[in-house]
Chain A
Amino acid sequence: MEKDQDKILSDVTSGEYKYGFYSDIEMDRIPKGLSEEVVRIISSMKNEPEWLLESRLKAYRHWLTMKMPSWPNLKIPHIDYQEIIFYAAPKKRPLLNSIDDIDPELKRTFDKLGIPLEEQKHLAGVAVDAVIDSVSVKTTFRETLAEMGIIFCSFSDAVKEYPDLVKRYMGSVVPYTDNFFAALNSAVFSDGSFCYIPKGVRCPMELSTYFRINSANTGQFERTLLVADEESYVSYLEGCTAPSRDENQLHAAIVEIIVEKNAEVKYSTVQNWYPGNKEGKGGIFNFVTKRGICKGENSKISWTQIETGSAITWKYPSCILRGDNSIGEFYSVAVTNNHQQADTGTKMIHIGKNTKSTIVSKGISAGKGQNSYRGLVKVLKNAAFARSFSQCDSLLLGDKCGAHTFPYLEVDNQTAIVEHEATTSKIGEDQIFYCNQRGIATEDAIGLIVNGYAREVINKLPMEFAVEAQKLLQISLEGSVG
């Protein structure tokens, strides 16, 4: 009986990665390896101002003194930083002003990924910054948004055009000293997205960044900096994919969010990096530092993440709730299938009075996947009447996978109310058979059950993407029922 169920589950959970193709694009690459020289080369290729080079070098020197974190519940193979190419960019055409200047192969790549770079073809109401390997190749709707005072552009453009804003906010939420990968990113980051929503503006469309790793042996190190001024609102989405390769590739990003008084940022991620093959060969190492600060009173940050990809995921999108009455939310679905590992969760730091945080984490483990939730709720001394609620659920498909929960609570104010709930359940043969008996095939039944389990989180995604996320959940868990 057990055997049958495990066979069904193993059949169903061995689907194929759909975005594993490689595009033959003419690229500029620098030699592999990391040194102060490489940091200088990256900076000079981007014609950066002196202050940014200085900041990179400081970060690099600090990184040299650091060690990779060993506390995550992950088995991370040795990473040789001298074997990684730290900068690869599609060969520059003279000027990338119109869509016609973009390499047709690049356009085809993004078309294939469902991210057309032509504005008229794109999903209505979504502006995209498309990043391939180390650089942003196109930001759509830039002009439309500029009319409202919204700045949405590549990080490199922001450094050139809005140096004061970048200087003021970059590193203010995630300093280079924060952790090993943050220091690495601060030294070698190549591009990313920048977004500023001015006072009182509600951004009329979804902003999104699509990250694509294409070149072999290349790491991707990008930063996203998002500033929501007083009384503003923006919903932001990021997606990611990479070719299927036998070698692991490193993606170490930083996301910083600053939210002023009465402003709100909704940040959603659909992460679908190549997860490696069924034997656990290849796949992306996704080591990301994401953090936002609710600076002003009544401000709000809401993180939603659907994590289906990567060989190893290490990320904890966090909120610093400094403004009184500010709100932090974290909604997460993390899938680990085959040999994937994830150690993910959040940190909610309550500093202001009446601050509130909500954490809903849904882990799904299949195959030999290992899924850990790690979360910190910290209530500081002055955070009177802070409230926090966490719910961590784990769903197991099969008997070779694992689910782990590591909640940390540190409460220094007696008026705080902090709750934590955790459940673990197994997808049952009974549930699948019940669906079968109503005419629903096993593959669809698992999709239905898993999506039901994750519904609370998927409902938090912008509508256009909720459907995509549902399909993705199904695809990443199914495939070959005979």
Chain B
Amino acid sequence: MLIIKNLKASIGGKSILKGITLEVKPGEIHAIMGPNGSGKSTLAAVLAGREFVEVNEGTVLYQGKNLLGMAAEDRAKEGIFLGFQYPIEIPGVSMVNFMKTAVNEHRKHKGLDPLSASDFLKMMREKKEMVEIDSKLANRSVNEGFSGGEKKKNEIFQMAMLEPSLAILDETDSGLDIDALRVVANGVNKLKRSDNSFIVITHYQRLLDYIVPDVVHVLYDGRIVKTAGKELALELEEKGYDWIKREVENNVIA
């Protein structure tokens, strides 16, 4: 699905990612954890095609294609979905219109005809029920006046609508109460199949009570410093990130 090799990236000349190597196979859920400022969101931004991040070195293959050479909208249509840490408000643009445009762009890319209005509304209804989103949210303008929790749920709803092959959730759990957290986790669990993959970026272990990752990575100072199974998340929860930092520093000295 995704093969990242020695990825180095910077923002405004400041080096952030310092050589990331990572492979995600179909059907896998990867969790990327790490302290603030370690480069988690930058990694998500590079994968989604954000232009302010400069890629300095390395390769990213997505389904065998060179991801870094593709425009952001093409990556989306090829099946990459980014759940935003801070979803953006677009006043006056209804969710219906927004999603209809997006879904039909995806269909066009696959050589399919646009959905009829009634088929589209039916699809919206089904997905709304699936991710247990309040039906009124979908009738409002994109994220406008949504609470923090509503915005995150709306990301999951959009993910359900677009059925990505690779979904990257950038701290989708931050600032959520337990109910919203459950909605987000249930969404992921319902959408998980053997042929799609998830990268769940999170600061806390909490979300991983609901979403069970196959692999957990710890990102620190722009590098993946530890990779293990789901038990690593529990260890981090218990001990915090300091022992990782110490371990890294000792290695550097040694």
A contact set with B: CB distance below 8 Å: 1, 4, 428, 430-431, 433-442, 444, 448-449, 451-456
Contact = CB atoms under 8 A, between A and B. Distances in A.
Contacts of B76: 436-439
**Secondary structure call for the B interface:** mixed
B73 A448 contact: no
Given A436-B76, A437-B76, A4 B52 contact: yes
15 contacts: A1-B51, A4-B52, A433-B72, A434-B90, A435-B73, A435-B98, A436-B49, A436-B71, A436-B73, A437-B48, A437-B76, A438-B162, A440-B73, A451-B92, A452-B94
B82 interface: yes
Nearest to B81: A437
Contacts of B142: 434
Nearest to B93: A452
B101 A440 contact: yes
Interface string B17-53: 0000000000000000000000000000000111110
Contact of B88 (A434, A451, A456): A434
Contacts of A1: 12, 51-52
Contacts of B105: 438-441, 444
B6 interface: no
Contacts of A444: 101, 105
Nearest to B82: A437
Nearest to A425: B91
A454 B92 contact: yes
Contacts, number: 82
B77 interface: yes
Chain A interface secondary structure, helix, strand, loop or mixed?
helix
Interface in B66-115: 71-73, 76-77, 81-82, 84, 87-94, 97-99, 101-102, 105-106, 109
B174 interface: no
Nearest to B11: A1
A448 B71 contact: no
B254 to A, nearest CB: 39
A438 B158 contact: yes
Nearest to A436: B72
Interface residues of B, number: 34
A192 B84 CA distance: 55
Contacts of B49: 436-437
A439 B73 CA distance: 4
Given A436-B72, A439-B109, 5 more contacts: A1-B12, A428-B88, A439-B105, A448-B90, A451-B93
A377 B245 CA distance: 65
B124 to A, nearest CB: 14
Nearest to A458: B92
B141 interface: yes
A281 B52 CA distance: 35
A451 B141 CA distance: 12
Nearest to A450: B92
Nearest to A449: B90
A448 B77 contact: no
A436 B80 CA distance: 11
A438 B98 contact: yes
A438 B102 contact: yes
Contacts of B92: 451-456
B143 to A, nearest CB: 9
A417 to B, nearest CB: 26
Contacts of A4: 51-52
Given A452-B90, A452-B91, A440 B84 contact: no
A454 B90 CA distance: 12
A442 B49 CA distance: 13
A448 B97 contact: yes
Given A1-B52, A430-B88, A448-B101, A437 B72 contact: yes
A250 to B, nearest CB: 35
A199 to B, nearest CB: 40
A1 B109 CA distance: 29
Contacts of B71: 436, 441
A418 to B, nearest CB: 25
Residue from A434, A437, A452, A453 having most chain B Cβ neighbours under 10 A: A437
Contacts of A437: 48-49, 72-73, 76, 81-82, 84
A430 B109 CA distance: 23
A452 B101 contact: no
Tell which of A1, A439, A456 has the most Cβ of chain B within 10 Å: A439
Nearest to B92: A452
A440 B109 CA distance: 11
Contact of B93 (A439, A442, A449): A449
Nearest to A442: B73
Nearest to A441: B73
Given A452-B141, A456-B92, A434 B101 contact: no
Contacts of B73: 435-437, 439-442
B72 A448 contact: no
Nearest to B102: A438
B36 to A, nearest CB: 20
Nearest to B89: A431
B87 A434 contact: yes
A440 B99 CA distance: 10
Nearest to A456: B92
A444 B49 CA distance: 18
B45 to A, nearest CB: 9
Contacts of B72: 433, 436-437
Contacts of B99: 438
- 7 closest Cβ contacts across the A-B interface? A452-B92, A452-B93, A436-B72, A438-B102, A439-B76, A434-B88, A439-B105
A432 to B, nearest CB: 9
Contacts of B97: 448, 452
A439 B102 contact: yes
A221 B73 CA distance: 48
A453 B98 contact: no
A439 B162 contact: yes
A62 B78 CA distance: 68
Contacts of B91: 452-453
Contacts of B77: 439
B88 A448 contact: no
B111 to A, nearest CB: 14
Contacts of B87: 434
A110 to B, nearest CB: 32
Contacts of B98: 435, 438, 448
